[in-house]
Chains A and B, each alone.
Chain A
Amino acid sequence: MYLIKLCWKNIWRNPVRSGVILLAVILGVWAGLFVMAFYNGMIRERTRNQLNNYVGHVQIHMPGYLNEKLVSDTIPDPQQVISSIVKNPQVVGIAAHTTAMGLASSATNSYGVTISGIDPKREPQVFDIHNYITQGNYFADDKKNSVVIGEALAKRLKVDLGSKIVLTFQDVHNEIAAGAFRITGLFRSDDKSRDETQLYVRAQDLQRLIGAPGAIQEIFLRLDDSRAASAVAARLQKDHPNLEIQSWEAVAPEFQLINDQMNLEISIIMGIIIFALILAILNTMLMAILERTRELGMLMAVGMSKLRVFGMIVIETLMLSFTGVPIGLGIAWATIRLTYHTGIDLAFLAYGQQYGFSSVVRPEMDPHLYPIVAVMMIIAALLASFYPARKALKLRPIQAIRTW
């Protein structure tokens, strides 16, 4: 206890220097956590957006469908499949798509698109595109051949709400089919590239044009928990061995790739922060020892053991960390909570939307990461303390106090 008291008083000998290192620890912890939360928020928001707008949690197709996306790869008796799946308590929404790859053409331009024929009443169970309508409506009336397209595609095609576009695609007999559609709604999601290449029509309009009434190529499921997708997909696969049933992780492995990439970047940033902290602490403690050479010599001369001297330096370093780390954690927790609720609007940077990142980032942090970061910082401080402590140990009292 007495040693602790001495250590505490020692670190406040030079309040400015200790204050600066304390500030460095606080800023280091805060910056490390906030950067982690920021990246984490970006990734999670992107994943959520992708799942909720385009991918779903589980997808059901004919085997090999995703390789070529042929119109003819229809799911046999899709209503029976849906009826059996709807019984699963984890499935909270089902959307069936008639899908065709084709070309959208206006009077001036053409662009390659994925045409999703949907049931507008069922679609919101799984996907949220209806929430992104910026002009017009989301199939509010029963007019035939209505189409909802992204603002980005409208811009490419140089068309507006109410304009007509022609969709060209293959029918189930591999013949070219086409239909004129009127734009009744425009949407803008957080994924500009998807907005350019994805459009929605009513399923029956598309089925009529491809010559296969009731044909469904894709069934999408939303679950009560996206993390259960793999397990649910595996279970459903057993019940439907003739179909290919995949979780979102299997359908879109790039999500995991981006996740891994971001984690690597976070680790590098954390590594740099921790390394800088170690250097700052090391420098401070070496300075402190240099200034106290004579005193340390005196302590050893009067009978303070080497272990105690070593412990004193380590404790002083840890005290700086133990003071700074909780404050840094607290500030990080508060700013992460605050910015999660307010969001950080990066729309002015016009960055990331091309790749599906939301313009508003909501930093998120798993609570279990706070103690991990705290422990990492304490370990860093401990490592930083060893060299100065060892240096102090090597002092010989007679040399340290010189002429007494």
Chain B
Amino acid sequence: MKVIETEHLTRTYQETKVPVRALNDVTMSINQGDFAAIIGPSGSGKSTLLNMLGGLDRPNVGSVHVNGSDLANLSDSELISFRLHNIGFVFQSYNLIPVFTARENVEFIMRLQGLSEKECRQRSEELLSTVGLGDRMDNRPSELSGGQQQRVAVARALASKPRYILADEPTANLDSVSTGQLMGLMAEMNRKENMTFIFATHDQRVIDRALRVITLVDGHIASDVIQDVMKKENG
């Protein structure tokens, strides 16, 4: 089942002296359960594509359809609500709320969704236990390692029960061990829950674990390759 469909997606930045076309006529789709890496050299349009898929930016031309809704036609406030209920975000630099504990960071998204305190508490504890932080729930981000913070960010992204999770360079600030743990965790989520993950990355360790690799060059899709499906089955 297709979760996201883009058609002739084009984004040109006019803010610079010389207009920069970051995405050029990108037509693609993401399916439910995809574990996809968007790769390419710097300036190839990875982050721009991710911004479009996340409803954080609007295309000049083309459309992004998520379950039938064209994100380009939604107002700013509709987009915010859309993101809250449909998309999980994992940021390169974690972007946790520093004054909240791990549990509160995870609960926060659910509270925005209007869930009760009890539901939020229960689910946040489940999620943090799932990401291996059951014993660090009451720690603030500053008391956690980079890898642990990124796992909290994954738990937060999952908290809203999104249709898909977007992650931009999620392992850029992590060491090998943490990267391995994080990718293992997300792969497990993908396998067990059929959760859709889309990464923009340079990291070969992430690319190696991806089941689908979309390569962007100069704003075009240069290749879209399904990797060894055995990976998925073997975890």
Which residues of A pack against B, CB within 8 Å?
2, 5-6, 9-10, 12-13, 294-295, 298-306, 308, 397-398, 401, 403-404
- Distance, CA A305 to CA B108, complexed state (A): 13
Give per-residue flags for B76-114: 1 if the beta carbon is below 8 A from chain A beta carbons, else 0: 110011011100010111010111100010011101110
Contacts of A13 in B (CB 8 A): 98-99
Give per-residue flags for B138-170: 1 if the beta carbon is below 8 A from chain A beta carbons, else 0: 000000000000000000100010000000110
On whether the beta carbons of B95 and A294 are closer than 8 Å, the reply is: yes
- Distance, CA A305 to CA B77, complexed state (A): 7
Tally of contact residues, B, Cβ under 8 A? 33
B215 within 8 A of A: no
Asked if A6 meets B108 with Cβ closer than 8 Å, knowing A305-B81, A403-B92, the reply is yes
Contacts of A305 in B (CB 8 A): 77, 80-81
On whether the beta carbons of B109 and A302 are closer than 8 Å, the reply is: yes
Contacts A/B (CB < 8 Å), 27 sampled: A2-B111, A6-B99, A6-B108, A295-B97, A298-B91, A298-B95, A300-B80, A301-B56, A301-B83, A301-B89, A302-B89, A302-B109, A302-B160, A303-B84, A303-B109, A303-B160, A304-B84, A304-B112, A305-B77, A305-B80, A308-B112, A398-B51, A398-B56, A401-B95, A403-B92, A404-B50, A404-B91
- Summarize A's interface: helix, strand, loop or mixed: helix
On whether the beta carbons of A404 and B92 are closer than 8 Å, the reply is: yes
Q: Which of A9, A301, A303, A306 contacts B76 (CB 8 A)?
A: A306
Q: Which of A12, A295, A302, A403 contacts B83 (CB 8 A)?
A: A302
- Distance, CA A10 to CA B107, complexed state (A): 17
Asked if A303 meets B80 with Cβ closer than 8 Å, knowing A6-B99, A6-B100, A294-B95, the reply is yes
Contacts of B113 in A (CB 8 A): 303
- Distance, CA A302 to CA B76, complexed state (A): 13
Tell me the residues in window 26-60 of chain B with beta carbons closer than 8 Å to chain A beta carbons: 47, 50-51, 54, 56-57
Contacts of A404 in B (CB 8 A): 47, 50, 89, 91-93, 95, 168-169
On whether the beta carbons of B80 and A10 are closer than 8 Å, the reply is: no
Which partner residue on chain A sits nearest B157 by CB separation? A302
- Distance, CA A327 to CA B59, complexed state (A): 53
Return the 10 tightest CB-CB contacts between A and B, nearest first: A303-B84, A9-B99, A404-B168, A298-B95, A2-B111, A404-B91, A398-B56, A303-B83, A404-B92, A398-B57
- Distance, CA A398 to CA B13, complexed state (A): 13
**Chain B min CB distance to A130 (Å):** 68
- Distance, CA A401 to CA B91, complexed state (A): 9
**Chain A min CB distance to B78 (Å):** 11
- Distance, CA A187 to CA B215, complexed state (A): 102
**Chain A min CB distance to B157 (Å):** 8
**Chain B min CB distance to A293 (Å):** 12
- Distance, CA A294 to CA B92, complexed state (A): 12
**Chain A min CB distance to B224 (Å):** 22
Contacts of A298 in B (CB 8 A): 89, 91, 95
Give per-residue flags for B104-129: 1 if the beta carbon is below 8 A from chain A beta carbons, else 0: 10011101110000000000000000
Contacts of A303 in B (CB 8 A): 80-81, 83-85, 109, 112-113, 160
Which partner residue on chain A sits nearest B110 by CB separation? A2
**Chain B min CB distance to A355 (Å):** 56
**In the complex, which of the residues A301, A306, A401 has the most CB atoms of chain B within 10 Å of its own CB atom?**
A301
**Chain B min CB distance to A77 (Å):** 84
**In the complex, which of the residues B50, B54, B84, B95 has the most CB atoms of chain A within 10 Å of its own CB atom?**
B95
- Distance, CA A399 to CA B111, complexed state (A): 25
**Chain A min CB distance to B23 (Å):** 14
Contacts of B56 in A (CB 8 A): 301, 397-398
